[in-house]
Chain A
Amino acid sequence: MQITVSVRRYNPQDKENPSYWQEYSLDVEETSSVLDSLIKIREEEDGSLALRCSCRSAICGSCAMRINGHAKLACNTKVSDVAEDGGTITVEPAGVMPVVKDLVVDQTLFWDKVRQVSPWLQPEGEEPEAEYLAPNSDMTHLAGVMACIMCGACVSDCTVLEMDPNFIGPAALAKAYRFAADPRDDEDASRLAALSEYGGVWDCTRCYECVEVCPKGVAPMDRIMALRDKAMEAGYTNNNGARHTDAFEASVSHSGRLNELTLPIKSFGILNLPAQMSMAPVAVRALMRRKIPPIIHKSVPGVKNVRRLVESVKEEQQGEGE
C-alpha cells in the first residue's frame, strides 16, 4: 500500500531551523509495521533519520513514539491499522521527555523515577538455602507486571506528568507494585509510606491514558489503584487521597450522593484550615457561576437500596480478602 509518513524531525545542530515536519512517501506491504516503514526510510531514503529500535518484536522497548498522536511501539503497530491506502501517518517523539534528535528522547527522567521507588527485592532475614516458596498464582500475577518493557509509552502520554513533573508516574509505580505484591519482599510498609506522599499513588487522576497506550497489557493505572488499597489497608490514611476516598465512601453510603460542601473539608482534614482556605477562591468562582451545592444535604430517594449495595460490595471484598 501507498502511504505518507510525516515525521516530526529535530536536529539540535541546526541552530536556525532545528524542528520541522518532513514527509516521506513510500510503498509498503499490507502487513508491515510503522517501524518497518521507518527502517525503510532510514535504509533507502534518508540515513539522517534518528530513531531507536532493536528487537522488532515488542520486547526491547526501544521504539516507543507517538503515532497519530498517541504513544505506541512502532514495531507492533501495523501500518494498515493506522492509515488507509494513500493516507498519512504522523510520527512524533514520545512526550514528557526532552528530545535528543528526531524520534530519540532523553529517558533520564524515566529512569530517575524508576530509581525513586527502590526497585529491587528487599527480603528480610536470612536467605533460604533453596528458593523462596511462593504460590504460582502470585508469580503469574506478577508476570503481568514484569511484562513491562520500560518503553516509556505510559510516561509519554501521562496527563499528570505533563503538568506535574513531581509525579512518580505510571511505569515506576507499576514497578513499585511489582515489589509490594511480591510475597518475598518485606519492605511493604516503607514502600507504601513513601508512595503515599506527594507525587505518589494519590496523584494519579485516573485518566486511563496509560492503560490505553501500554503495549504489553501492564495496565499501570490498575496497579496504582491496587497500591492505594494496599496503602490504606496498611494504615497510611493520613493524607488527602485516603481521606478523600473515605469521605467519598461515607457520603455515598450515608445519603447516596456526594456532599460537596463537606468533601473538601474532610479530604484536607478538618483541622487543616490553611488548606481549606486555599479552596476559597475556587468556592468563590463556583458561587459566581451559581454552581452551588445544596446547603441542606438531602439523601437520594431510595437511599436504603444504595446502602444495601454498599454493604454487599463490602461483604464481597471481605470474602475476597479471606
Chain B
Amino acid sequence: MLEHDVLVVGAGLAGMRAALAAHQRGANVAIISKVHPVRSHSNAAQGGINAALTDRGDSWEDHAFDTIKGSDYLGDQDAIEYMCTEAGPELIDLEHMGVIFNRDDEGRLGTRAFGGQQRARTFFVADFTGQAILHVLYEQLMKADVRVYEEWFVLELIVEEGECCGVIALEIATGRVFVIRAKSVILCTGGLGRLFEPSTNALIVTGDGIALAYQVGAPVMDMEMVQYHPTTLKGSGVLITEGARGEGAHLLNKDGERFMQRYAPNMMELASRDVVSRSEQTEIDEGRGIDGCVLLDCRHLGEALIAERLSQILEIGMDFAGVDIRKEPIPIQPGMHYIMGGIKTDMDGRTIVPGLYAAGECANVSVHGGNRLGANSLLDTVVFGHRSGNHAADWANGKPYRDLDVDAYVDGKEKEFSDLFSSNTDERWSQIRLDLGRAMDRHMGVYRDEEGMQSLLAMLPGFRERFAKTSLQDKGRVFNTDLIFTLELGFMLDCAESIILGGIERKESRGAHSRTDYPDRDDENWLKHVLVTRTDDGPEVSHLPVTITKWQPEERKY
C-alpha cells in the first residue's frame, strides 16, 4: 500500500515549498507530479519575486497597499498582510537555500522595478527567476530525500465521510492505476492556461487541481478573474517578461507613440497588468495597432543591459519571432497568462473539505483579487506553500490512516478506461481543446459582455457531448499521452464552467474582469467574492464578503 501522511500534488514552487515544510515538521511526505519537478511551469516566471525589506527602507504596508490596489480591492486584506509580512523571511530563506539572486554593489540582494508598485522591490535572477528558484527547491528536495512520484497523473481525489484521504493516480510510464493513501492532500497544480488559446502557459497547465477539488464539492472563487499579460508573442503566446518594461522598455503603437501616456500618465508602461492590457487592446481595436499587435521597444536599453538582465528575452525574440530586440521593436499583444481565481482556501491553505489543502495558482486565498501584480505570484507560492505544508503536516500528525477499499477504486477507474479505450469515433481531444480554447479567448478575453459569455455558456453542453464521445488513437498503456491529454480536457471543461458562470454573475468591471456592458466598478453591489460550487443539482453560485482591514476602496489610477 502506498501511503503518506502528506501527499502534495504538483511539484512547482508551491508544491516543493509545501513538501519541504511538511518534511521539516516531521511528516512522511511525498510529491506526486505529472512531470518531473524541474519541468514544472514555475520555470516560466521570468521577472522576479516581490518583497519589502525593511533594511532597504521599504515597508510591508506599502507592498500590501500596492497589492490591494492592484487587486482592485478584491483581495482579502488579512491574507495580503500575511503575505507581505512573510515576504522578507521567505526571500532570505530562498537565498540561504542557494538561489543566486542578482546583487547590488555591496553584495546585497539587488532589485528591479515591476508594474503597479511605487518602488523597486522585485528580487531577481536575470530573467529566469522562476527557474532559478525551482531548481534550488529541487536541490533541497533531493537533500531531504523526499519521495517524488514522477510522471504520475492524479485521476481523482478520494473523499470518504467528508474527509480527503488520498488519490487515485495513473503511473504514466506503465499505465497502471494505483491508490495512494494520505492523511492530508495539498493541491499545488498551478493554473489552467491551456483552457485558452493562445496562452503564455506551458502545455501541462490544464487546471487539473482546480477541477479535482471542484469535483469533490470544494468551492472555487473569483474564477472570472483571468489575467491577460500585456506582452506576449502573437500566435504562440510565448511570454516576454514584464522585467523588460521594468528595465525601461517602451510600448509603442503604429504611429510610434508611447500610448500609455493617455491611459496611465504616472506609471506609464508599469501600470497594473490589467490596465496595460486593456490599453493595448483599445489601441489595437481602434486601428492603431499593427496586425493585431503593438510594439515593445527595448533598443534604448543598450546591449550590455540586455545581455545581463534580459538574456532569455533576447533568445526568445530571435527563436520565436525572428526579431533581434537590440535592433528592432518586437510585436506583442495581450495574451492569457494567469488565473487569479481558484480553489477557495483560508490562510492555512484549507479548503472546506477536511484534509484537502491548496496553495499557489490553483488556490485562491485571495491575495491577488481582481488582478495580480507581477512578481507577486512567486511570493504567493512560497508563502502559502510553506504555511499549507505546515498545517497539512499538523493535521496529519497522530491521525490514523483510513481503511480504503483500494480494489474498488482501481477497478472503477479501469472500467472507465476500458470504455474509453474501446471507443471508436473520430472525436479527439485535440480538436475539442482547440475549439474550446479559441471560444474562451474570444468571449472571456480582455473585454467581455453578457451576450458573449451567455453564448459561451450555451456552447458548453456541446463540448461536453463531444468529450463524452472522445476516442484514443493510442491504444497502449505505456506512456500514453493521448490518454493524458484526454483526461486533462475533462478537467478543463470543469474549469470553463466556473469561469463562465463567475463572469456572468459579476455585473461590474473590476480588475481583469472588464465588461463593456458594465464598464464601472460597483463597490456597493460587487465588493464581494463570487463562488461556484458543484452540487448534485448542478453548479451553485454564491457570494462572500471581501475582508478589509485598513485600506478602504479608492478610485484606481496609475
Mark A residues whose CB is within 8 Å of B: 11-13, 31, 33, 42-44, 46-48, 50-62, 76, 78, 100-102, 104, 106-107, 114-115, 119-121, 123, 127, 129-136, 139-140, 142-143, 146-150, 182, 184-185
Contacts and interface: CB of A to CB of B under 8 A. Distances in A.
Nearest to B148: A111
A234 B125 CA distance: 30
A44 B428 CA distance: 9
Given A57-B239, A182-B100, A78 B478 contact: no
Interface residues of B, number: 63
Contacts of B131: 59, 146-147, 149
Contact of A146 (B109, B135, B202): B135
Contact of A139 (B55, B101, B202): B101
Interface in B70-122: 92, 95-98, 100-110
A57 B316 CA distance: 7
B153 to A, nearest CB: 13
Contact of A127 (B96, B109, B110): B96
Nearest to B322: A31
A144 to B, nearest CB: 9
Given A47-B473, A120-B143, A59 B312 contact: yes
10 contacts: A46-B473, A47-B474, A56-B203, A57-B239, A102-B479, A119-B142, A132-B95, A134-B107, A136-B107, A150-B38
Given A47-B482, A54-B39, A139-B100, 8 more contacts: A13-B478, A43-B430, A54-B41, A130-B55, A134-B107, A136-B102, A136-B110, A142-B100
B39 A61 contact: yes
| Secondary structure class of chain A's binding surface, majority of residues | loop
B204 A54 contact: yes
Counting from the closest, the 7 A-B pairs by CB-CB distance are A47-B473, A121-B98, A43-B430, A48-B474, A136-B103, A133-B107, A47-B482
A178 to B, nearest CB: 8
A143 B132 contact: yes
A198 B421 CA distance: 50
A59 B43 contact: yes
Contacts of B41: 54-55, 60
B469 interface: no
Given A131-B109, A136-B110, A150-B38, A101 B478 contact: yes
Given A54-B39, A57-B316, A131 B135 contact: no
B102 A57 contact: no
B308 A140 contact: yes
A50 B202 contact: no
A56 B202 contact: yes
B36 interface: yes
Contacts of A133: 106-108
Given A11-B478, A101-B478, A62 B109 contact: no
Contacts of B472: 47
Interface centre among B100, B102, B126, B140 (most CB of A within 10 A): B100
A135 B107 contact: yes
B476 A53 contact: no
Contacts of B125: 139, 143, 146
A78 B319 contact: yes
B173 interface: yes
A52 B484 CA distance: 12
Nearest to A104: B479
Contacts of A119: 139, 142
A183 B354 CA distance: 45
A38 to B, nearest CB: 11
